[in-house]
Structure 1
Amino acid sequence: MLQDRLVHFLKGRKEWKRSGGKNHLIVAHHPNSLLDARRDLASAMLILADFGRYPVELANIKKDIIAPYRHLVGTIPSAESPSYDERPTLVYFQGAIYRKDGGVIRQELYYLLKDEKDVHFTFGSIGGNGVNQ
């Protein structure tokens, strides 16, 4: 299998052995990418779409980067983006609050912050036609 070959290749390199992979960056953005190799490569820094499907020993905020799916995050042109002090919203979240796996942090944040005036939550889900609210 290709993923097994990748793990074998990386772990055999002197660069990997020098730090145990901790100085490596692996793009595994799609939830199913490197599905079989993730556990073996977990010491590296991972670029992921979210933490929702991963155990904390594999992916966590101390070592990994979350890059949300671009089509889910609206872009504001720089000229129209207010300065930090001018922004009316403190927290912005749009997507599935309740998830089949994980999502515990999303739910907890929702319950803690849903009634705050500077917080925006919009429920939504992904379907064949994009994001549905």
Structure 2
Amino acid sequence: MSTLKKVVLVDDDQVNNFVCESIIRNENFADEIISFDWAEDALKYLQEESNKGVGSFPDLIFLDINMPGMDGWSFIHEYKKLPEQATAHCSLFMLSSAVDRKDILTAKSNEEVKEFFSKPLSPEILNIIREDYIQNR
């Protein structure tokens, strides 16, 4: 059995999304993985899922910072507007190649962001999430 039901990836890099999906599947981390190349599309999906009730909203979101159009910070700003009953059971993690110390500190100080991880996603990162965030829900 997988650790989670649904994981959402939000990253404009399709190759990175493919690699992340493969690692998540290989590690039996989630039953369903949904990738979005555009943060706006991901947000629209989350808005629709939040209206469906408990159980359809993702358990976890991996979010990149630097994306065309809506970046990760704008996404978080809009994410905060979603109904709390939907987002309360979802963990949001930044997964980015950003090396700007300000971005890392901002992510770590943001109450919506559980943790900042540097790309690429790895089995070790998934294990950290399992041990530090999921088992303690």
**Same fold at TM > 0.5:** no
Calculate the TM-score normalised by the size of structure 1.
0.30
Q: Output the TM-score relative to the length of structure 2.
A: 0.29
> Which is bigger in relative contact order (C-alpha 8 A, separation at least 6)?
2
Counting helix residues as a fraction of each chain, which structure ranks higher? 2
